[in-house]
Every structure is written in structure tokens, then in C-alpha cells.
Structure 1
Amino acid sequence: MFTPYYRPRRLRRNENIRRMVRETHLSVDDLIFPLFVTEGKNVKNPIHSMPGNFQWSIDLLVEEVKEVHRLGIPAIILFGIPDHKDPVGSDAMNDEGIIQRAVKAIKDAVPEMYVITDVCFCEYTDHGHCGAVVDGDVDNDSTLEMLGNQVLTHARAGADMVAPSGMMDGMVGAIREALDDNGFEKIPIMSYAAKYASAFYGPFRDAAESAPQFGDRRSYQMDPSNAREALYEVDLDVNEGADIIMVKPALSYLDVIRRVRERIELPVAAYNVSGEFSMVKAAAQQGWIDEKRVTLEILTSIKRAGADLILTYHAKDAARWLAEL
């Protein structure tokens, strides 16, 4: 009978040795929790396609952020749902807009929370696209000027970081210039550098009420078949002054996360998006999977692929589970 000389199982025999040789460590410090804010008072609208997530009015959003802070989650990212939408997303560029007031309220109540703002126009325009529409198409260069105006309102409100997500060519450079020229050179940019035109965004569009009213976003978001193009996008954003590079979505793009990690020295973020979250929730509700184990395995896989930061709707649950380990 053959007796193995090499026995990898020696380092798997009990939990202590498994902990000691574990290569990838998931921590609450890795997590960023997305939140949706809407107008009104005492509003907590359930997002039915994203169980456990809500549209919050600012007063209740502040209480939710206090809970997020108690769980040790260091950062949130905010998405706004205004009462009024128009062709250019005016509320997004208003110092008294929904996001701007939310940032001020959070920083007043929970100054320790690191507040990131999504920078885009899809939630604010009546057509649901990510910028100004001219002759039936999103006009790239006029949108850049709008993005500069938008980030300045976020900076004045007290945002700690801005995160442009519209995939406009030159968006990072335009935003960096706007911030620097107006005394906000200390505010970092987390760029959605490789954002794919993915089918996994459906529940988010319910939550943010941001589905396009015509066409789709494939003329500016990336083709899911492409990986080399992602590296080109990343190089452009790094050269324009991005401080953190994001890949979105995460699970179907672990290979892209790995390639980006090997390409750059900057921190890499990955967005564990709404469709990825909702599939886990739905399967768990059916009793088909162990939600805790699957969720932590997914988040660990994103970290193992090379992400330093993970934006995820699982953040609160993950923080509680990690505290139990």
C-alpha cells in the first residue's frame, strides 16, 4: 500500500492550526455599507428585492448610521432618491439636495463615520441615464462639467470621499480638477473604474428608482466580455488622480479584480452588488443554503481575489458574524 510522504492535511487538523496558516483574513475594517436616502420624515420603505434594506428618510438614516457605527463598520456610501427629477438631475448639484442634507446630518450626529458619496446622475434625472442626454445619447463632455458641480456640493456638505460611478471618459480628471481648484484637494476619489453593463444591478435600480427610461447603459458601461479593457480604464483613472480603484460587480469579475490588483499599487475596492446579494438572500429564505457560511465565503473570495475594500449589502450581518469568530 502506498503511504503518502506529503500530507497537507497535517495543517488542517484543528481550528487553531487552520487559523495560524490562513492566508486571507476578512475583517469588519474591509466593509463599506451602501445606504439609500429619500425625502420625508419617519420613512423606512422596504426594498422588497433586497431583503433587509430600506429607503431611509434623513432622520431615520441617522439612526441607522449610528447602528452601523456600533457594529464597527468604518464607512458608508450614500445614494439619493430626490422628490423631483429633471433632464439634468438638478437635485444632484443643489447644496440643499437630498444627499447634501443627508451628509450634513450624518456628520453632525456620527462624526466618526467615514461618509462616501456616489457621484452620478441616474437617480436624479427623469430619463434615468448617468448624465446629460443630447440627441438621444448621453453627452460625455457636458456631463463632466455637471460632475464637477456635483462633487463640490458634496465636499461643501462634509463628504469624506467621492465615488464617481457614471463611466464617463475623463470623469476622474474633471472631478480632481474641480476639487483641487476649490480648496478640496484633501478629498480622495474612489473611481468605479471598471464598471460593467451587468444584469446583476436589477434590485439596485428598484432601490434607487434609477432604471433608464429608454435604451440601456451599454454605450458607457463596459462589455462583460472584456478584461483587457478594464486594465486600460484603470490606467486612465490612476493617471487622472484616482486614489482607490473599484471593480463592479464582484463575483463574476473575480478575475478582473485579480488582474487589477496585480496591475496597480493603489487600494482596490470591489462592489458586491445588489443582484449578488439578493440571490443569496433568496436561496437562504428557501433553506437551500447556509446564509452565514455562504456570505462569509463569498466576501472572503472577493478579498482573496485582491480587493482591499468591499462594498456590500451584507455588511451589517457580516460584522455581527465576524464578531462571533
Structure 2
Amino acid sequence: MDGWEVALASPHPRLRPGIIVYRGFRLALGRPRRRLEVPIGAVTLMLGFEHPVRISGLASSGQSQHARQSGQSRQGPVTLVSVLSGLGTTPVVGEHDGRLAGIEVLLAPWAAFTLFGTALHEVADRNLDPDALGVRPGPGRWGSVAELAAALGTLPSWRERFALLDDVFARWSKAGPPSCERTVRAWSELVRTRGAAPVGHIAEEVGWSVRQLENRFREQIGIGPKAAGRVLRLQRARRMLVAGRTQAETAALCGFYDQAHLSGEFRAMTGCTPREFAAMRRALRAPGGGPQSADRLTDEPTSLILA
């Protein structure tokens, strides 16, 4: 019989809003699982306890649904126990044998810049072993993310694991390079407007030229402000479509030129049409579809179960 365990927690207030949420999970499904993960406005750190996950890019959006679900690689498949996923505009497929346990940490990108001390364009549209960045995360008795993940796996409760993460991330934050206050303001404005704020307006608001804004985003966010706006607009559009809005309504409310523009962005960033995505989400909510908290962001449709 399938079994799963999910535990959600908010990080300590001193870590917010940079660290968004902790999601602990333990799956024992008795069969392989394949999930489509679509772009979101956050960096994801998955601290795996033992079993690996295989991640591959998705083939081009012009193919059939069956071919899309084959998980053909654009980046090249990787098999990892712990994974750092930067901001990006392309979907990926994650596969495992049905057994998986760990903690997903959702981060504002500027906070990930501080925690890992590396320019985030190095991880944009990529899924990497965090220890492959070539930098030590920060002071403490764990010299690597792998050692931290192993220590988390030995603790007896989710509460103790989340408390350890609070402590470790607080120390890493103090040791890492500070994010630029104007970068944080620019990102916050883009998030507040759900990707709708014009790049020129954001640059003016924070006192930079557009080129300065783009350079800072590349360093401390990972992708440019225009690409980040695309991700945030489509994130809102997915939520509205799954909630029952029509494509025409969604396109108008989310700032797309028209329904065709929405459909094109959907295909590019999810590999699906809006109709296919909404239908597959309804199937996920059906009995036996799996834990409803599988999405990386609370109340946000970020995943599809492919098998």
C-alpha cells in the first residue's frame, strides 16, 4: 500500500522573508514516480536523506503530449540525492523509484545568493549538486550540504530537523555576502505586481539604469527581470486556470497580449497547453492522486504527476 508523510513549517522569523518555507517529506509508494516541475519564482534546495532523484529537461513544446512526458533532456539528465534548482523558464521531469525522503527549502533568490555565496546565473535553469558549486556554505560542523542532509536524516522528528535548519541557515546568512538592498526592493516589486511591473519602472524605482538592474538580477536573482516577470505571470496564470478561470479571463488579468500569447508561454514553460495542465491538475485532486501538499509552493500548482 502506498504511504507518504508530509510536514510543512515556516522558518524562524529572523530568516523570513528570504527563506519561504520548509517541506519535509517521506514517500514509500511501491512504484516509480515521475513528476513534471514547472518554473516558479523561488530557488529550491532539496536536502535528500538517502535515495536519489533523476532530473531531466523536457523536450520542445511542439511535440506530442506522449513525447513531452518522455522527459527528453535539454540540460542533460542528472541523478542526485540533494539538489539545488535555480530560477529558470523551462520545465523538468523528476523521477525516482517510489522511495524518497528529505526536506525541500524554498528560498527567495536573493537569499540563496547570500546562503551559497555564488552568482546565481551559475545555477539558473539548472539542477545541481549543491556541493558542486565549489564553495563551502558557511561556518559550522558540516563542511558540505551532503553532510548536513545526512545529519538531518538521523534526527527523530521533523521539528528537530526544522530547528537545525533554522540554526544552520542563520549562521550561513551571517557568513555569506549580503544581497544588495536595491536588488531586494526590485525583486519584491516584481513579486508584488506578479510580474506585471515594467522593467523600466522597477529600475527607476530603485534608482538604477535598466542595464544596472539586469546585471544585478543576473548576479543575485539568476535570470533577468524580464524573464523573472514571465515566470511570475505564468505562476499566477496557472493558479487562476486551475481555480476555474477561462483562458480569455486569465490572459487579460495576468497581462498577456491575448489568449494566443498565454498559450505560447504555457507551452514554453510547462510543456503543456493551458487546457492540458488544468485537466491533469484535476486528475491529481482525484482519489489516489497523491498528497495534495506535493506542490513546492503552498496553494500554487507547481507540479504534475506523469506516472
TM-score using structure 1 length: 0.28
Based on CA coordinates, which of the two structures has the bigger radius of gyration?
Answer: 1
TM-score using structure 2 length: 0.29
